[in-house]
Amino acid sequence: MKTATTTASQACPFCSGKGYFQLILGGSETCPSCQGTGKDSHSFSSR
């Protein structure tokens, strides 16, 4: 049986791991959720 683990290195769910959003009228904007890192900052890791 496989189990899923949650780690801090998962891709950000808001920008799909890109770190930015493409704006409709052109250009891009840094993802406010991950601050451009592309990593999910809301994941929890057990110690």
Distance CA 7, CA 36 (A): 18
pLDDT of residue 44: 53
At 34 the pLDDT is 94
For residue 25, the model assigns a pLDDT of 94
pLDDT tens across 1-47, in order? 665 554 556 899 999 999 999 999 999 999 999 999 999 876 555 55
In angstroms, the CA 27 to CA 42 distance is 26
Q: pLDDT at position 40, please? A: 87
For 11-45, letters b (16+ CB in 10 Å) and e give ebeebeeebeeeeeeeeeeebebbeeebbbeeeee
Position 20 scores a pLDDT of: 95
